[in-house]
């Protein structure tokens, strides 16, 4: 029985204007009021998506969000982490050396802010992610020691990034889970971090498992949770490799694909 709906944001729940449509909002609010857990799953920190959380009314004591693509599970009310898994400062150098050598832009995120690395060209990440602090830093000036980091990001125009991805060295793949979250964004996550991992910890905390989970996604960073869920739903605009593992397909993000599927599946609730 489905008791939790987990949703990617960009190009899934959000339309091309980065908005939750009225139809999607209405369906998710009704299901949430019926006791179905609605969980937003994103690469962003919670403060960067708080306006979406408020829009959907996910502000009760038992509401949680999956952030940093599974690296952090946080309670929406208390902001206390249920689970977190990050990078040590020493891990960052591998990706930095590759980016610096080829003059690729790079951003480093801890669990609170974005450090835009000034040793290379400016990133376009700031134009993608709102409601989070950006700080200019040379790589050598980043907090070190035991300071935890969530991920590293290359935000580069899509056509150029497409050519970069096949050149990522094996050494980086051995140390990081490398995923493309948007056409212009490549993320370097801790090995073992995935939206499915964050959801597993949340499901266990709530006395559930993957058999109770429905997921919606479109991109490579959604692949794990689409595979793991009892019902993995992929948008019409999703990548072919993600559609290939879906249980079901739905309409595009610009055609209320989330609501279209939920209205059919949960007809008796709505």
| pLDDT tens per residue across span 208-221 | 999 999 999 999 99
Compute the average pLDDT of residues 165-189.
94
Whole-number Å distance between alpha carbons of 144 and 219: 32
Q: What percent of the chain has pLDDT over 70?
A: 100
Residue 270 lies in a domain: no
Residues 133 and 64 placed together within one structural domain of the fold: no
Mean pLDDT of 103-129: 93
How far does Cα 237 stand from its chain's mean position? 17
Q: Are residues 221 and 238 in the same domain?
A: yes
Summarize the confidence of residues 168-172 as an average pLDDT: 96
pLDDT at site 162: 94
pLDDT of 179 strictly over 80: yes
Query: What does the alpha-carbon distance between residue 215 and residue 42 come to, in Å, rounded to a whole number?
Result: 12
Which residues have a Cβ under 8 Å from the Cβ of 33 and sit 6 or more positions away? 57
Within the chain, strands assigned E span 4-8, 37-41, 64-67, 72-75, 81-84, 107-109, 113-117, 133-137, 151-155, 176-182, 185-190, 213-217, 231-235, 248-250
Predicted TM-score of the model (pTM): 0.90
Percent of the chain having pLDDT more than 90? 91
What is the spatial distance between Cα 179 and Cα 44, in angstroms, rounded to a whole number? 14
CA distance 87 to 79: 20
Query: Are 77 and 205 part of one and the same domain?
Result: yes
The residue-averaged pLDDT of 228-248 equals 97
Whether 185 and 93 share a structural domain: yes
Q: How confident is the model at residue 131 (pLDDT cuts 50, 70, 90)?
A: confident
- The structural domain count of the chain equals 2
Domain residues for the domain of 29 are 4-85+193-265
Q: What is the CATH number of the domain that holds 202?
A: 3.40.50.1000
Query: 50 and 131, same structural domain?
Result: no
| 8 A C-beta contact, residue 22 and residue 15 | no
Using 50, 70 and 90 to split pLDDT, how confident is the model at 128?
Answer: confident
């Amino acid at each position: 029985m489905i008791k939790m709906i987990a949703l990617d944001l960009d190009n899934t729940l959000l339309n091309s204007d980065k908005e939750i449509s009225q139809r999607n909002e209405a369906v998710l609010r009704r299901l949430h009021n019926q006791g179905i857990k609605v969980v937003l799953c994103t690469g962003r920190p919670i403060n960067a998506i708080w306006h979406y959380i408020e829009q959907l009314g996910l502000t009760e004591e038992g509401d949680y969000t999956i952030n940093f693509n599974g690296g952090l599970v946080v309670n929406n009310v208390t902001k206390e982490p249920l689970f977190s898994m990050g990078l040590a400062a020493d891990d960052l150098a591998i990706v930095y050396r590759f980016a610096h050598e080829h003059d690729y832009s790079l951003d480093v995120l801890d669990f609170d802010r974005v450090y835009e690395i000034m040793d290379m060209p400016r990133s376009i990440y700031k134009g993608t992610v709102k409601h989070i602090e950006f700080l200019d830093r040379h790589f050598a000036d980043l907090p070190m020691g035991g300071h935890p980091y969530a991920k590293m990001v290359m935000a580069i125009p899509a056509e150029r990034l497409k050519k970069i991805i096949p050149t990522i060295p094996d050494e980086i793949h051995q140390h990081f889970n490398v995923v493309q979250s948007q056409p212009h964004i490549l993320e370097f996550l801790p090995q073992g971090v995935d939206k499915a991992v964050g959801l597993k910890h949340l499901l266990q905390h709530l006395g559930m498992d993957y058999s109770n989970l429905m997921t919606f996604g479109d991109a490579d960073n959604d692949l794990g949770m689409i595979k793991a869920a009892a019902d993995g739903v992929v948008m019409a605009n999703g990548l072919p490799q993600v559609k290939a593992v879906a249980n079901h397909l739905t309409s595009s993000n610009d055609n209320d694909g989330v609501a279209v599927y939920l209205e059919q599946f949960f007809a008796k609730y709505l």
